A and B are shown apart, each in its own frame.
Chain A
Amino acid sequence: MCMAFLLVGPLFLALSSSAWSELVIRVTQGNDQPTIIAVAPIALNGIQIKEDIGSIVEADLKRSGLFSAIPRRDMLAFPSVASDVYYRDWRMLGTEYLVVGAMIPIGEGRYQLDFSLLNVTAKKTEFNHRVSGTKSQMRDLAHLISDKIYQEITGIRGAFSTRLAYVTANRKNGKYIYRLNVSDADGAREKLMLESPEPIMSPSWAPNGKELAYVSFETGRPAIFRQNLVTATRQQLTNFTGLNGAPSWSPDGKKMALVLSKDGNPEIYILDLASKKFTRLTRHFAIDTEPTWMPDGKHLLFTSDRGGTPQIYKLNITSKATERLTFRGNYNARASLAPDGRTLALIHRSSDTFHVASFDLVTGRMIELTQTRLDESPTVAPNGAMLMYATKQGDRGVLVAVSLDAGVRYVLPAKSGDVREPAWSPFLR
């Protein structure tokens, strides 16, 4: 039995990766002064793998907008260890950093990859690192290499090993198919979490990256579910009359903020996941929705139209005191907090179009980050370097990533149907 799965598993993986890889990246705008890096092909020593690890690393780094890469066709040699590198050759190409590496089998289906980051200008090795994994983990190895290199050169923790959750909707003959998917941060290895003829909305990651909460209408009414990524175990958390929406997992993973309208209009509640106890936090006839946690676990941000138009408010969970944060414009909604605890990404309306804007909680400064007009659902990467949002290109929903300084931008369009509501995972290790 076990043997059969060992044989079947990788075959199914190979088939499914082409069938499910729906997101394709196009970099549309980069940084003005990128670091020039060369990633030499990884020496495989006869190991047969279908991924080109060097290319995945190169694509990761380029997508960050902070790097440009020396094309392989321009390389004079493909060294795999530091001792084989002629620095002068690489300097002539304008290379600032060079990545070399080699893989060997270490038994029991595992492979070890030693790689080095070389500083071409200083002619020295910045670091050596060893990663290991199975053949099904070659993309993980590549993203891990990207993370290490990115952190060494930029000083910012890499987020290439993270994942995305998002919803796709396809309409055929008047019938819908909604899918909740999880993929790598680069859109590869898309995996179906849930498929339903009824809407699926508002995916939210557990802080450990092992579960998702979301809204599903599969019962004919909106209800909040949690689902384990590994076991596929699902649990329905709410079943109230009216709205059951906008789940947001607390930083400690023990609670969930959400929206219920069982008492007449939308209010923010906190659900204690262990005791199943609901605590109502807002009490207002206006719309209160889209709660998101501050990193301290003691405050929530939420959207409310209690002042006449939707604006972002801050709520003290203990005292239930609220404070309005945004004042510029007549529509500021769905705040997503960057890991610095200070920068908000939100949806801001200006001259009748809906953009993603950043809002500094300390200075109150708002900066529009996008020029598209129907932007939704901003989600900030766990390293704070990029955010992703949903928008429309033509009549199709696409995902776009933009750096928080708006200097870098790339698009992840789905091959078919609408893709929407991206949720960037926390760090997974």
Chain B
Amino acid sequence: MIHSNKFGFTAVVLSMILAGCSSAPTDESTDIEDTAVQTGQVGTSAIDDSAMMDAASAADTVFYFDYDKALLKPESRAALLEHAAALNSNPRSVRLEGHADERGTREYNMALGERRANAVKKFMVLQGVSAGLIEVISYGEERAASYGSNDSAWSMNRRVELK
């Protein structure tokens, strides 16, 4: 059985075994039936990062974290204060993207990335930025900034990016 979908793709047969066993005393038999597998279509387009870039701010937009930690580092403070001040004087929507290094499990790292981004959000809200302007998204370990399985790559990947 071969299907075509409405996009005109010809489906590739990837058969599934549906056994109907009718058995004789010594001879069993199994018939195989077909089902087709089709490829799904990705829906709406992703958010356009470029629309969110802030040309006015020259401060660092990436903030790094220690392993398995979501505490802001002292060196992140100055840049975050600058961003908070800019947002207070000129409110706009921002996105905080939290990331983790590749060690550990993917879904746990999603949670860790979110925890880091939330730490940055909390700091900015304490500086008076409206929480409603800040969206937190975690990418976990899915979007590495630096490739390689070593301490220096990992330290670059444990980060929150302000966009």
Contact = CB atoms under 8 A, between A and B. Distances in A.
B111 A392 contact: no
Counting contact residues on chain B (CB < 8 A from A), the size range is: 35 or more
Contacts of B103: 354, 374
A136 B32 CA distance: 11
Contacts of A127: 26, 28
A334 B105 contact: yes
A140 B106 contact: no
B32 A230 contact: no
Interface in B31-70: 31-32, 34-44, 46-47
A331 B42 contact: no
B135 to A, nearest CB: 8
A198 B106 contact: no
A384 B13 CA distance: 28
B42 A287 contact: no
B30 A130 contact: yes
Contacts of A128: 26-28
A162 to B, nearest CB: 10
B27 A193 contact: no
Interface in A225-245: 227, 229-232, 234, 236, 241-243, 245
B25 to A, nearest CB: 10
Interface residues of A, number: 83
Interface stretch (A1-9, A92-100, A318-326, A362-370): A1-9
Contacts of B11: 9
Nearest to A139: B15
Contacts of A379: none
Contacts of B118: 265
B6 to A, nearest CB: 10
A120 interface: no
B39 A428 contact: no
A221 B137 contact: yes
A259 interface: yes
B126 interface: no
A114 B26 CA distance: 12
A303 B46 contact: no
Contacts of B12: 12-13, 16, 191
A289 B26 contact: no
B40 A194 contact: yes
Contact of B32 (A131, A195, A331): A131
B17 interface: yes
B15 A140 contact: yes
B111 A243 contact: yes
A218 interface: yes
A358 interface: no
B99 to A, nearest CB: 11
Q: Which 3 A-B pairs have the closest CB atoms?
A: A220-B47, A232-B38, A133-B32
Interface of A: 5-6, 8-9, 12-13, 16, 114, 127-134, 136-137, 140-141, 143-144, 161, 169, 176, 182, 189, 191-199, 201-202, 209-210, 216-222, 227, 229-232, 234, 236, 241-243, 245-246, 259, 261, 265-266, 287, 289-290, 303, 310, 331, 333-334, 347, 349, 354, 374, 376-377, 392, 395, 420-421, 428-429
Interface of B: 2-5, 10-19, 26-32, 34-44, 46-47, 102-108, 110-112, 114-115, 118, 135-140, 142-143, 147-149
Given A114-B27, A236-B43, A429-B16, 10 more contacts: A130-B30, A133-B15, A136-B13, A137-B32, A141-B32, A193-B39, A209-B16, A259-B107, A289-B108, A395-B147
13 contacts: A5-B4, A217-B46, A229-B14, A229-B35, A232-B37, A242-B136, A246-B107, A259-B107, A287-B108, A289-B110, A334-B108, A347-B105, A395-B148
